[in-house]
Amino acid sequence: MAIGTLDTWKETIRDKKIECASKDEMHSIQSEKLVNQVKHVYKNVEFYRNKMTAMGLEPGDIKSIDDIVKLPFTTKEDIRDQYPFGLVAVPQDQIVRVQGTSGTTGKLTLASYSDYDVKVWGECVARALTMAGLDSQDRIHVCYGYGLFTGGLGIDFGAQALGAMAIPMSAGNTKRQMTCMEDFEATAFACTPSYALHLAESMKEAGVVDRMKIKVGIHGAEPWTEEMRKKIENLLGINCFDIYGLCEITGPGVAMDCIHHKGLHVYEDHFYPEILDDQNNPCKDKEQGELVFTTLSKEAMPLLRYRTKDITSIERDVCECGRTLPRIQKFAGRKDDMKVIRGVNVFPTQVETALLSMGGGVAPHYMMIVDRENNLDTLTVMVEVDERYFSDEIRKLDALKQRVGNTLKQALGVQVKVKLVEPKTIERSEGKAVRVIDRREF
């Protein structure tokens, strides 16, 4: 197999009227939807009505998308406080589906969907799959988890909307995943990037890569780097695409990168993006800040200015693919994943990039352990030694450990303790990878 080039890659635009709309056309679409959405939540959701009343704000004050800055924010804590149906804007007999994620408080972050919401969700994922060159002739092997987690069902809905074959494997049992991929002649697979790397390594080990029909990987649900994308692509000879979504907004299908991989196109006719700085002021294009979304089409559980905690930037120029949809860049991390260590902001993705830049010696499987010793923060990074380089000679391992430590210190700006571990010691994730353990007591 060989990765398709830009000249030969099949990519079509599913909805040119929307995906290639002019700024004025999109502004009109967004303004009409926002005005209607604000009326909808004010009338039907006590939580938003109370917030707006406290701000001296009425629906009539929102006349276009430009007025979005007047609206209140919504946080994950708000959703948990309103659990299970406090944010629902339709009669409960119109809710056809709920999805959710587990929370640290023991309460789910629950999202509710009407029949219309499910159709919009499927259409958005179908747009994403089309962006990756897939069509009704493809067979999409879904190894995201099913159930309340949105990953599996979201890709499934998109495959149905596209008319493609969905293979609903869910997560787990890597050997069975590989067998079914081969037997069912899957042409694409969808899972987290960390599990995609694990699958790719397992296929390579088993010697089955050349027997696969896979040409596309669809990966999301956790931050990942360009280096990891290239590693998966090179192992399997495929094109990998970054899909973004979150349960609170709809699930996968909020944004997706095209073949040019210069950012993830946001479906802004349904999900209006803002990038805000620490003072909640709008960031300029290409300036990093927190991503905030307003759902413009959601019926059952619309959200106003939901704070995602994802750190990114946005670009609004026309993409080489012809789409005018804005592009958010790969995430630097999340506000809640970021660790401040001796005054320095550290994201897990920085560790991943540094390890992949070393050109061998270690595998891109790691765990960050943050602790406090004698009132000073410490960072230990557990790193797997690459199987090809594994040696019992202490001298060689010490030299590798020193090299890893120097690379991480240069990348992160803080001193790092390195612990080298044997291959496959760090647990592989079939869901979202756990990269950080913080043992500090605040």
- 139: which residues sit within 8 A by CB, 6+ positions away? 164, 165, 167, 184, 185, 186, 187, 188, 213
Whether 320 and 363 share a structural domain: no
What CATH number is given to the structural domain containing 24? 3.40.50.12780
pLDDT of residue 432 exceeding 70: no
Burial of 137 (0-12, 13-18, 19+ CB in 10 A): exposed
- Structure-block tokens of residue 189: 């697979």
Question: What is the predicted pLDDT for the residue at 128?
Answer: 97
Name the domain count of the chain: 2
Domain boundary among 311, 336, 361: 336
Whether 300 and 392 share a structural domain: no
Each residue's pLDDT tens digit, 116-160 = 999 999 999 999 999 999 999 999 999 998 888 899 999 999 999
Whether 58 and 164 share a structural domain: yes
Whether 267 and 403 share a structural domain: no
Q: Which of 221-235, 316-330, 341-355 has the lowest mean pLDDT?
A: 341-355
Distance in angstroms (rounded) separating the CA atoms of residues 215 and 211: 12
Domain boundary among 291, 317, 336: 336
Reference 194, options 167, 163, 156, 221; nearest CA is 221
Whether 285 and 399 share a structural domain: no
Q: Which of 32-41, 163-172, 198-207, 372-381 has the lowest mean pLDDT?
A: 372-381
Whether 138 and 196 share a structural domain: yes
Whether 245 and 184 share a structural domain: yes
Whether 45 and 171 share a structural domain: yes
Q: Average pLDDT in the 10-38 region?
A: 94
Whether 322 and 345 share a structural domain: no
Each residue's pLDDT tens digit, 71-126 = 999 998 899 899 999 999 999 999 999 998 754 344 678 999 999 999 999 999 99
pLDDT of residue 198 exceeding 90: no
% of the chain exceeding 70 in pLDDT: 91
Each residue's pLDDT tens digit, 220-250 = 987 788 888 999 999 999 999 999 999 999 9
pLDDT of residue 387 exceeding 50: yes
Whether 63 and 162 share a structural domain: yes
Whether 327 and 357 share a structural domain: no
Each residue's pLDDT tens digit, 414-429 = 889 999 998 888 877 6
Question: What is the predicted pLDDT for the residue at 401?
Answer: 92
Each residue's pLDDT tens digit, 160-191 = 999 999 999 998 889 999 999 999 999 999 99
List the domain range (segments joined by +) for residue 355: 339-438
Question: What is the predicted pLDDT for the residue at 12?
Answer: 80
What CATH number is given to the structural domain containing 366? 3.30.300.30
Contact assessment for residue 159 and residue 137, using Cβ atoms and an 8 Å cutoff = no
Distance in angstroms (rounded) separating the CA atoms of residues 73 and 64: 17
- Identify the band that residue 2 occupies on the pLDDT scale cut at 50, 70 and 90: very low
Question: What is the predicted pLDDT for the residue at 8?
Answer: 60
pLDDT of residue 7 exceeding 80: no
Each residue's pLDDT tens digit, 252-307 = 999 999 999 999 999 999 999 999 999 999 999 999 999 999 999 999 999 999 99
pLDDT of residue 370 exceeding 80: yes
Question: What is the predicted pLDDT for the residue at 233?
Answer: 96
Question: What is the predicted pLDDT for the residue at 336?
Answer: 66
Q: Average pLDDT over the chain, rounded to whole?
A: 90
Reference 213, options 236, 186, 176, 191; nearest CA is 186
Whether 332 and 363 share a structural domain: no
Residue 408 or residue 4, greater confidence: 408
Residue 47 or residue 341, greater confidence: 47
Domain boundary among 291, 319, 336: 336
Contact assessment for residue 387 and residue 423, using Cβ atoms and an 8 Å cutoff = yes
Peptide linkage before 364 cis (omega within 30 of 0): no
Distance in angstroms (rounded) separating the CA atoms of residues 406 and 41: 53
